[in-house]
Structure 1
Amino acid sequence: MEALTTMKKKKTRLVVRKGNENIALKVEDIAFIYRDNTIIVAVDKEEKKYLCDRNLSALEEELDESMFFRANRKYLVNIQYIRGFKSFEKVKLEVSLLIPTCNHSIIISQETAPLFKKWINEE
């Protein structure tokens, strides 16, 4: 039974890179994670960028699903940094973040929108 519990334990920090330095970044300080071509970038609450060694699918499984949502193929967003969302092209959603100078347009598809609304409404 204990092995099952340890398997499901979600990460509380990620080891990321900034230059040649490895940094243990607390997951609650990560505002969002995105894919830029083949590079995975974690952005913290102060908008500092770090490189991740894992792909988004692996990170999605390792991070707490009550805290992080897979918005689309490019983005994982942290619920603590979501200001809100609005309709986009009638059927999609556009998420706005609490990061003031964030110029990322995070779009949630028509198929994923109901899951996102359910996720963001849960405590």
Structure 2
Amino acid sequence: MKTVIIEDEKAAVRNLTSQLNEVKPDVEVIAVLDSIEGTIEWFNSNPMPELVFMDIHLADGSAFEIFEHIHITCPIIFTTAYDEYALRAFKVNSIDYLLKPICKEDVEHAFEKLESLQDSPFKNEDDLQTHDNELLQLIHSLKKQENYKTHFLIPLKGDKLLPVSVDMIQLFYIKDCQVKAVLADGTEHYFPQTLDELTDCLNPTLFFRANRQYLVSREAIKDIDLWFNSRLSINLRYLGNQEKILVSKAKVAEFKEWFSRK
């Protein structure tokens, strides 16, 4: 099986190659590519391989940029340092992923999935189109995952900007039709974005939209009270907030599932 490895870490290449030799000796690594530019050039001048292992983060950018320039028609197994939750959608798709550091069992599972796909070919053009659309949605979702905000510059009086990392923020809430952020030290700052915009640009594994007024960080939650009508009341570590943050009955199951994620 002619295979291409797209990976910019030499140690990761050595480890993956070693695992492949042990699990699938018939795999022939015909090229190791370490950049977006080099990958595009190689695929434009060589026949399509039978399999690709692709790291998501390369030295010159996101590997997703590759798909904007070339069409890879063979199966792709992504390798990544993302946590399992961020990529769990791949578990039900023909494309698999290996979470670094890669072990023997990971490689075995990936080939089992690949063989299962090959034993169940698409029945018609509609099936193929559906698969392609699902893959595009997954790639879009993961590309968005890479673009979640990790830092903000908050405007202050006196023509200054305050740099703030997302992990410093306890919650966002609406007050007097404006959005305010509460930091871990208890200070509050106005934000120009709407709560909807913030909900969209922040990693949903870190923040939960409790209701129309509050977007809460997991780290800000002290404990939770069972409330009337099967609702929940979130108590924050930030003592300055005296209002109860209520999670509606309709969102209780979603909140519990969110909070228990890794």
Same fold (TM over 0.5): yes
Q: Please give the per-residue CA displacement for 1:55-80, whole angstroms capped at 9, x wherever unaligned.
A: 00100011111100001000000001
TM-score (norm 2): 0.44
Q: CA deviation at 1:110?
A: 0.8
Q: CA deviation at 1:99?
A: 1.7
Q: Whose helix fraction is larger, Structure 1's or Structure 2's?
A: 2
In structure 1, C-alpha distance between the alignment counterparts of 2:197 and 2:229, rounded to whole Å: 31
Secondary structure at 2:154 match in 1: strand
Aligned to 1:19: 157
In structure 1, C-alpha distance between the alignment counterparts of 2:215 and 2:235, rounded to whole Å: 13
Aligned to 1:84: 223
Higher relative contact order (CA 8 A, sep 6+): 1
Q: How many residues align?
A: 123
Aligned to 1:68: 207
Aligned to 1:116: 255
Q: CA deviation at 1:17?
A: 2.7
2:43 is aligned with 1:43: no
Q: Identify unmatched segments of 5+ residues in structure 1.
A: none
Q: Whose strand fraction is larger, Structure 1's or Structure 2's?
A: 1
- Structure with larger Rg: 2
In structure 2, C-alpha distance between the alignment counterparts of 1:90 and 1:120, rounded to whole Å: 21
Q: Identify unmatched segments of 5+ residues in structure 2.
A: 1-63, 69-139
Point out 4+ residue stretches in structure 1 off by more than 6 angstroms. Answer: none
Larger deviation: 84-93 or 52-61?
84-93
Please say if residues 41 and 50 of structure 1, whose CA atoms lie closer than 8 Å, have aligned partners that are also in contact: yes
Q: From 49, 58, 63, give the equivalent of 2:197.
A: 58
Q: Please give the per-residue CA displacement for 1:22-51, whole angstroms capped at 9, x wherever unaligned.
A: 212111000000011311000001110111
Secondary structure at 1:111 match in 2: helix
2:10 is aligned with 1:10: no
AA of the residue aligned to 1:15: L
- Please provide the CA RMSD for this pair: 1.7
TM-score (norm 1): 0.90
In structure 2, C-alpha distance between the alignment counterparts of 1:16 and 1:37, rounded to whole Å: 19
Q: Please give the per-residue CA displacement for 1:6-35, whole angstroms capped at 9, x wherever unaligned.
A: 543211112223334321211100000001
Please say if residues 18 and 49 of structure 1, whose CA atoms lie closer than 8 Å, have aligned partners that are also in contact: no
2:261 is aligned with 1:96: no
